[in-house]
C-alpha cells in the first residue's frame, strides 16, 4: 500500500527547492566583480535595447573623459567600451570602506543580441551616460524561383 505524503513532507521539499534556487541566484550575482584592481578599471553598468532598426547601448560612466572614450567592434555582435576617468575613484568614495583599490578607467565588453553595422554607429556622452546607437545589419532579400 502506498503511503500518502504529509503536508510537512511537501513543505520540506518545497523549502529545499526554494533554498537551492536562491543559492543559484546569489551565485550568479557573485560570478564576476564589476572591477579589476590590476588594471584599475571599473565595469560600467550598461543596458541594451533592441528596436526594428537599431540596437541602443547605454552605459553609466560618471567621471569619464569624453576625449578618451573608445568604442571598438570586436565582432558583429560584441562591442568593447573603454574610457579614462577625469577623477580617480576609490572604494571609499563608492561607499565601500572595507575594500581597498583605486580606479582610473572604465572597461567592458557588451554582447549584442543581434548583428550590427559598427561602421555606422553613433555615440554621445551626456551627463555621464554614454549612448551608442548601432544600426542593425540589414538582411539581403533572396529571390525564390
What is the structure's pLDDT at 63? Answer: 92
Q: Give domain limits for the chain.
A: 35-135
Evaluate if residue 120 carries a pLDDT over 70: yes
What is the structure's pLDDT at 44? Answer: 94
Q: What is the pLDDT of residues 22-64, one digit of tens each?
A: 887 776 665 666 778 778 899 999 999 999 899 999 999 999 9
Q: What percent of the chain has pLDDT over 90?
A: 49
| CATH, range 35-135 | 2.60.40.790
Calculate the alpha carbon distances from 60 to 57, 63, 119, 121, 127 in Å.
Answer: 10, 10, 23, 18, 9
**Cβ distance 134 to 114 under 8 Å?**
no
**Mean pLDDT within 74-91:** 89
Q: Give the containing element (helix H, strand E) for 86.
A: strand 78-90
Evaluate if residue 8 carries a pLDDT over 80: yes
Which of 16-30, 49-63, 100-114, 130-144 is predicted with the least confidence, judged by mean pLDDT? 16-30
Round to whole Å and give the CA distance between 125 and 66.
7
Which single residue is written with the C-alpha cell 573608445?
Answer: 70
Calculate the alpha carbon distances from 38 to 41, 65, 100 in Å.
Answer: 8, 21, 12
Q: Which residues pair with 106 in a beta bridge?
A: 42, 83
Question: Between these two residues, 84 and 89, which has the higher pLDDT value?
Answer: 84
Question: Between these two residues, 11 and 98, which has the higher pLDDT value?
Answer: 11
Evaluate if residue 9 carries a pLDDT over 90: no
pTM flag (> 0.75): no
Amino acid at each position: 500500500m502506498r503511503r500518502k505524503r504529509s503536508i510537512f513532507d511537501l513543505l520540506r521539499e518545497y523549502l529545499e527547492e526554494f533554498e537551492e534556487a536562491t543559492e543559484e541566484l546569489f551565485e550568479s550575482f557573485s560570478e564576476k566583480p564589476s572591477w579589476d584592481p590590476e588594471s584599475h578599471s571599473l565595469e560600467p553598468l550598461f543596458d541594451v535595447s533592441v528596436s526594428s532598426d537599431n540596437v541602443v547601448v547605454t552605459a553609466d560612466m560618471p567621471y569619464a573623459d569624453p576625449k578618451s572614450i573608445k568604442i571598438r567592434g570586436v565582432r558583429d555582435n560584441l562591442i568593447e567600451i573603454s574610457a579614462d576617468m577625469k577623477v580617480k575613484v576609490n572604494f571609499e568614495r563608492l561607499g565601500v570602506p572595507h575594500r581597498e583599490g583605486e580606479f582610473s578607467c572604465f572597461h567592458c565588453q557588451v554582447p549584442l543580441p543581434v548583428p550590427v553595422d559598427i561602421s555606422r554607429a553613433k555615440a554621445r556622452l551626456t551627463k555621464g551616460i554614454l549612448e551608442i546607437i548601432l544600426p542593425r545589419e540589414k538582411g539581403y532579400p533572396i529571390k525564390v524561383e
